[in-house]
Amino acid sequence: MAIVSLSGAHKAFGATQVLDGIDLETRDGEFLVLVGPSGCGKSTLLRAIAGLEDLDAGTVAIDGVRVNDAGPSDRGIAMVFQSYALYPHMTVAENMGFALKLARVPRAEIDAAVRAAAETLGITDLLARKPAALSGGQRQRVAIGRAIVRKPRVFLFDEPLSNLDAALRVRMRYEFASLHKALATTMIYVTHDQAEAMTLADRIVVLNGGRVEQIGAPMELYDHPATQFVAGFIGSPR
Ligand code: ADP
Ligand code: MG
């Protein structure tokens, strides 16, 4: 588990202030969901937490250690994107173990980690297949499996279900909930799906124009939206 904290995070691309002073702290083991309109800076925020985006001002820290002070492999962060490019020539097991192989983890340890992750995700029967022989939902499970084998302290998910059809999205929503329960790890999850946010979140962060509009438990935001914008986004009558 881990506590992720951002303090005074600023980032501009040209004239656009994409992160405009973000202060945010997760609770240990929390499932934090980021919502907000397209272009409001959700992906940029996740990338900054992963240490993939340099801030113009402010800091990101995991358990008090600034992400840019840690080497990329020591950060303990794994990110799953909406377009989860799997290596087409590798089997599911090879895809899942690839990061560990690059890190020169011994073969037996890789196999054990891959098997454990596959069991958590219910995909042990798919380990020998190539990505082309998988459905969309199965591919997304493999992408999540790739993250799990690294045993990160923090998972970052950037709209992981947005490429799936509506019925599958609803089913996968419950898998994220049980994954969070099983791993008890801090997870930060971006979505533009209001129902997904309400179901999964311990707390929801509503972003608007690079700022935090409101943060709170789903029913808190629903019952007491701080602004018209939050009310509109969460779907509460106001
Ligand atoms: P969201 O994920 O909420 O849709 P993003 O964080 O992807 O938003 O993008 C926020 C804004 O920053 C958008 O206007 C986008 O065009 C811009 N942006 C993101 N990344 C870059 C980049 N590497 N270079 C220039 N502009 C960018
Ligand atoms: Mg995005």
Say what the pLDDT of residue 237 is.
67
Q: Provide the residues around ligand 2 (an ion) whose CB is within 5 A.
A: 42-43
Atom 18 in ligand 1: residue holding the nearest Cα = 13
Q: How far apart are CA 63 and CA 26, in angstroms?
A: 10
Residue 159 CA, closest ligand 1 atom number: 2
Calculate ∠ Cα 207-152-187, nearest 5°: 30
Give the 3-state secondary structure of residue 146: helix
Quick: pLDDT tens for 72-123.
666 788 888 877 789 999 999 999 999 899 989 999 999 999 999 999 888 9
Pocket test for ligand 1, best of 17, 18, 40 (most atoms within 8 A of CB): 18
Q: Ligand 1 pocket, 11 CB below 6 A?
A: no
Provide the H-helix boundaries in the chain.
42-49, 92-102, 107-121, 136-148, 166-183, 194-200, 218-223, 228-234
Quick: pLDDT tens for 207-233.
999 999 999 999 999 999 999 999 988
Residue 238, pLDDT above cutoff 70: no
Quick: pLDDT tens for 193-206.
888 999 999 999 99
- Report ipTM (2 d.p.): 0.97
Q: pTM here? A: 0.92
Pocket test for ligand 1, best of 40, 44, 162 (most atoms within 8 A of CB): 44
